[in-house]
Amino acid sequence: MSRLIVLDTGVLGMIVHPSATGEPRECKKWLETILLQGMPVYIPEVADYELRRELVRIKSAKSIARLDELKTTLGYVAITTPAMLVAAELWAGARNAGTPTADDRELDVDVILAAQSTILARLGDQVIVATTNVGHLSLFMDARAWRDIP
């Protein structure tokens, strides 16, 4: 069983941020360290979408180019029908348990990301979601603040 990292939107955003200082710099160094350890790192398509739509809105060509570059060097988890079926189950289960992660009328990106990660975990891997907000994702899987992943 191998251990792999799935990037949440917040972490992905820091990695493609043009700033070379502060938290984005630290996050980029963290990613380099993880990759040097040989740990596989994946970008879920739903995180790409959530980040890209904002980068397009603010016309951040540099960050979009960096995001496109990362997609060629890291693993990429496409949105699939099985993942969306799992997402529907997670979404319903969270609401039935009284722990919704978004308004009922919103497309719940967190459950889609959790479903994509769940599909990866079914292949026998230990999947850890690197995030800036552990709260919602930890309802579904192993989600940790990126700084807490060695």
Where are the extended beta strands (E) located within 34-145? 41-44, 75-77, 126-131, 143-145
* Residue in the structure block whose two tokens are 């980029």: 28
Q: What is the mean pLDDT of each run of 10 residues along the chain (150 residues)?
A: 93 94 96 96 97 98 97 96 96 90 84 94 90 88 95
Predicted confidence at residue 53, as pLDDT, reads 98
CATH of the domain at 114: 3.40.50.1010
Q: How far apart are CA 140 and CA 71, in angstroms?
A: 25
Domain count, the chain: 1
Nearest CA among 121, 150, 116, 147 for reference residue 134: 147
Predicted confidence at residue 114, as pLDDT, reads 94
pTM to 2 decimal places = 0.91
What Å distances lie between residue 50 and 10, 55, 81, 113, 148, CA to CA? 10, 9, 19, 11, 23
**Which domain does 45 fall in, by range?**
3-148
